[in-house]
Amino acid sequence: MQQTTALIRGRDEVARGHYRLKLLQADVAAAARAGQFAHVLPRRADVYDPMLRRAFSILAVEGDTFDILFRVEGRGTAELSRRRTGEELDIVAPLGRPFAAVPQRAVLVGGGVGVPPLAMLAAQTRREDGRHRAENIEQNTLRQTNSSHDLIAFVGARSKEELLCLEMFADLQVAARVATDDGSAGLHGRVTELLEAHLAAQAGEKHPTIYACGPLPMLRAVAATCARYNAPCQVSLEENMPCGIGVCNGCVVRAAQAGNDYELYKRICVDGPVMWTHELDWQHAATTRG
Amino acid sequence: MASLTTRLGPLRLKNPVLTASGTFGYGQELEPLVDLSRLGGVVCKTVTRHPRAGNAPPRTCETAAGMLNAIGLQNVGIERFVDEKLPYLRRFDVPLIVNVAGESVEDFAFLTRALSAESGIAAIELNISCPNVAHGLDFATDPTLTEEVVAHARAATHLPIIAKLSPNVTDITLIARAAEAGGAHALSLVNTFVGMAVDVRTRRPRLSNTTGGLSGPAIKPLALRAVYRCARAVQIPIIGIGGIMNAQDALEFLIAGANAVQIGTATFVQPRAALDVISGIEDYLEANSIGDVTQLVGSLVTDSGK
Ligand SMILES: Cc1cc2nc3c(=O)[nH]c(=O)nc-3n(C[C@H](O)[C@H](O)[C@H](O)COP(=O)(O)OP(=O)(O)OC[C@H]3O[C@@H](n4cnc5c(N)ncnc54)[C@H](O)[C@@H]3O)c2cc1C
Ligand SMILES: Cc1cc2nc3c(=O)[nH]c(=O)nc-3n(C[C@H](O)[C@H](O)[C@H](O)COP(=O)(O)O)c2cc1C
Ligand code: FES
């Protein structure tokens, strides 16, 4: 974790109101793990409104650069969308607890701008696959064929134009199925229905591990589904994050069991943003997001 | 090199810049980003007699050039503070000021006495002004209670006592005088201003607690006035707090009469904000050929002499 500046190397509007920034910062690119985020100052240093940093998941790393992908929501993201290639951003990164190591079989469930950390997780897992293959070839083992992770992605959005990262999943050979709220692509409905159908079809087999990120109502449904099928599940959470480094106690979510009062709330920025669903009290997991 | 050494009554600081309670955790989290030993002092998150879970989320929301918070004094309680947090904080060569809050005069005295038995604590800051818990405000809105709570804490310790006051009163100088009469060695001014924000889409308050404390640049002019007035009303040193984002802001407080400053919300945005303030003050002193930071304190120039 460090505070530093990152040069904007590239900027694309990947969908209407959605921007992808490529940022040059070698140390962050080298250290970042899927599920971690960057805390970005969306304004010039001497203007105090909007005041706080904004959190964005790390979408990809490549050489000395890393990418973020964001949707314009309010003033901070609007400000950020006006920054151009060649400008510098003040960042603190990488922050937060990343996703746990992916077992042989995994399902990625992403909604809206919750998809980026899952695309990063897919890429990271495929890089591991590549390393294992290389090692196997070196050691002349013949178990090469089945060593890749079995990954599948369910991607949801309001409409077809806002489906994110589908090309990345295709490049990584991760089968992706989509759901849209308006039915303009894939299932006319919710991404959690895809998950439900998938787990139902596998009843009896050992369940894959589920990794999910998206709006809170979606995560709540994912957590309930996974609990029903007894499938282990990690989610990445959001909450207003004044500091992002664990000093303000602002970004909390209620823990499942607290032996003590002082452990009732966990800080999403340092104890998360990735948490196991069984660590959380879903009845009280009412964050700002719904 | 100009001297930055500052005295707050019996407390000597190598420079006048401290971190504000509740914005610096227990130091640990910031170690990778900040050289703690360069700070004038560290004030840690409020400690209470018993552990506190804090308020339900959402606990914060951003407002124009500021933010509201209603954390609700989440903390591990005095016992675990002493066992788990203090040993870490003690390792640094920086004065540690422990901020405490209680629900009664006895609580404050108890906490002060308990902490006095520990080594490595430079002073106690009494948070009699937290807006986000029941009873928190009662003390600092009532001069009689303020004097009583400060006097009891003072009697319970050999350590310097700093009273942290609320700006949510009609005349803060009355409370400042009461704290001085109770024996406070210094005053911290100010805690947050109570405020609120509404989500018009849902018509709900943006904070689960409905109201919260406003901090950040939005409150700076108000905090500055409070410091200015109190500096004229009392003899004891004052620590200025409220919306200090950079050295310029800190200098305003010193000139208006603060002997030292605390950096709060700025640390969320710039983890190294307090260090930048220190070097900025140094630069200003050099540039203006001022040999000693204490010469600046209360050096406000006015025509009317008011
Ligand atoms: C760990 C983490 C990872 C995230 N990753 C992404 C991502 O990859 N892509 C993306 O588009 N968005 C992501 N978000 C959400 C993003 O941080 C918010 O959309 C953004 O802060 C909104 O700022 P604004 O000024 O445009 O909106 P406003 O509504 O004007 O913001 C007002 C205040 O609320 C806070 N806030 C508003 N919405 C959110 C939110 N959803 N989460 C946290 N704080 C919020 C802002 O930071 C700001 O302080 C992530 C959030 C977190 C916590
Ligand atoms: C998130 C947050 C938590 C705080 N917690 C405490 C606290 O526990 N005890 C206390 O005395 N003041 C607390 N404060 C108040 C600050 O110490 C400071 O007085 C106030 O924020 C004004 O300064 P600023 O504008 O520089 O932040 C808190 C402030 C914030 C923003
Ligand atoms: S954002 Fe401050 S503790 Fe998490």
Q: pLDDT digits over B72-91, tens only?
A: 999 999 999 999 999 999 88
CB B165 within 8 A of CB B186: no
Q: What is the pLDDT of residues B151-185, one digit of tens each?
A: 999 999 999 999 999 999 999 999 999 999 999 99
CA–chain centroid gap for A236, Å, is 6
Measured from the Cβ of residue A188, the count of other Cβ atoms closer than 10 Å reads: 12
Q: What is the pLDDT of residues B199-223, one digit of tens each?
A: 999 999 999 999 999 999 999 999 9
Please tell me whether the peptide bond between B95 and the residue prior to it is cis, using omega within 30 degrees of 0: no
Confidence of residue B136 (pLDDT cuts 50, 70, 90): low
Burial of A229 (0-12, 13-18, 19+ CB in 10 A): middle
Q: What is the pLDDT of residues A28-39, one digit of tens each?
A: 999 999 999 999
What count of Cα atoms within 13 Å lies in the side-chain half-sphere of residue B159? 28
Q: What is the pLDDT of residues B231-256, one digit of tens each?
A: 999 999 999 999 999 999 999 999 99
Question: What is the identity of the amino acid at A213?
Answer: C
Q: With a cut of 70, which residues of chain A have pLDDT below it?
A: 141-146, 258-261, 286-290
Task: Supply the pLDDT for residue A290.
Answer: 47
CB A235 within 8 A of CB A195: no
Pocket of ligand 3 (CB under 6 A): A 241-244, 246-251, 267, 269
Selection from B119, B102, B8 nearest residue B52 by Cα: B102
Selection from A65, A90, A44, A67 nearest residue A244 by Cα: A90
Question: What is the identity of the amino acid at A4?
Answer: T
Kind of pairing between the strands at B17-19 and B260-263: parallel
Selection from B219, B174, B172, B177 nearest residue B194 by Cα: B219
Classified as helix, coil or strand, A226 is helix
Question: What is the identity of the amino acid at B150?
Answer: V
**Ligand 3 nearest-atom number relative to CA B25:** 3
Do residue B69 and residue A254 have CB atoms under 8 angstroms apart? no
Q: How far, CA to CA in Å, does B292 sit from each of A47, B4, B249, B285?
A: 30, 6, 18, 8
Nearest chain B Cα distance for residue A264, angstroms: 6
Q: Which domains does chain A have, with CATH numbers?
A: 2-95 (2.40.30.10), 105-279 (3.40.50.80)
**B268-273 mean pLDDT:** 96
Element (H, E) at B63: strand B60-63
What count of Cα atoms within 13 Å lies in the side-chain half-sphere of residue A268? 25
Using CA coordinates, name the residue in chain B closest to A238.
B58
Selection from B138, B70, B83 nearest residue B105 by Cα: B138
Kind of pairing between the strands at A37-40 and A187-188: unpaired
Task: Supply the pLDDT for residue A136.
Answer: 80
Whole-angstrom Cα distance, residue B92 to residue B146?
A: 32
Task: Supply the pLDDT for residue B129.
Answer: 83
Please tell me whether the peptide bond between B58 and the residue prior to it is cis, using omega within 30 degrees of 0: yes
What count of Cα atoms within 13 Å lies in the side-chain half-sphere of residue A24? 8
Best residue in A48, A283, A284 for a mutation probing chain B (most B CBs within 10 Å): A48
Whole-angstrom Cα distance, residue B207 to residue A218?
A: 22
Write the ipTM.
0.93
CB A275 within 8 A of CB A216: no
Selection from B115, B137, B147 nearest residue B47 by Cα: B115
Q: What is the pLDDT of residues A204-214, one digit of tens each?
A: 778 899 999 99
How remote is the CA of residue A170 from the centroid of ligand 2, in Å?
A: 48
Q: Angle, to 10 degrees, between the axis of helix B172-182 and the axis of helix B220-233?
A: 50
Higher pLDDT, B227 or A148: B227
Q: What is the pLDDT of residues B26-68, one digit of tens each?
A: 888 898 899 999 999 999 999 999 999 999 999 999 999 999 9
Whether the per-residue pLDDT at B137 is higher than 90: the answer is no
Tokens 């069984």 sit at which residue? A278
Selection from A253, A67, A243 nearest residue A165 by Cα: A67
- The token duo for B120 is 């490595």
Residues of A with CB under 8 A from a CB of B: 1-3, 41, 46, 48-53, 92, 239-240, 242-254, 258, 260-262, 264-265, 270, 284, 286-288
Kind of pairing between the strands at A105-111 and A150-157: parallel
- The token duo for B194 is 């109570």
Q: Which residues of chain A have a CB within 8 Å of the CB of B246?
A: 46
Report the percentage of chain B scoring pLDDT > 90.
89
Look over chain B and give the mean of its residue pLDDT values, rounded to a whole number.
94
Task: Supply the pLDDT for residue B240.
Answer: 98
Start-to-end CA span in chain A (Å): 30
Task: Supply the pLDDT for residue A257.
Answer: 75
CATH fold of the domain at B6-295: TIM Barrel (3.20.20)
User: Residues A205, A210, A215, A217: what is their CA dihedral angle, to the nearest 10 degrees?
Assistant: 40
Selection from A222, A283, A236, A225 nearest residue A255 by Cα: A283
User: What pTM did the predictor assign?
Assistant: 0.95
Task: Supply the pLDDT for residue B140.
Answer: 84
Q: Using CB atoms, pick whichever of A49, A246, A284 lies closest to residue B25.
A: A246
- Helix boundaries (H) for chain A: 26-31, 75-81, 115-138, 166-171, 191-201, 216-229, 268-271
Report the percentage of chain B scoring pLDDT > 70.
97
Query: What is residue B58's DSSP assignment?
Result: P
Whole-angstrom Cα distance, residue B121 to residue B41?
A: 11
Whole-angstrom Cα distance, residue A240 to residue A252?
A: 9
Contacts across the A-B interface (CB distance below 8 Å): 121
- The token duo for B98 is 């422990």
Whether the per-residue pLDDT at B186 is higher than 70: the answer is yes
Q: Which residues of chain B have a CB within 8 Å of the CB of A244?
A: 268
Whole-angstrom Cα distance, residue A252 to residue B19?
A: 22
Phi-psi region of B67 (alpha: psi -120 to 50; beta: other; left: phi over 0): beta
Q: B162: Cβ–Cβ under 8 A, 6 or more apart, which residues?
A: B8, B97, B123, B124, B125, B126, B184, B185, B186, B187, B188, B239
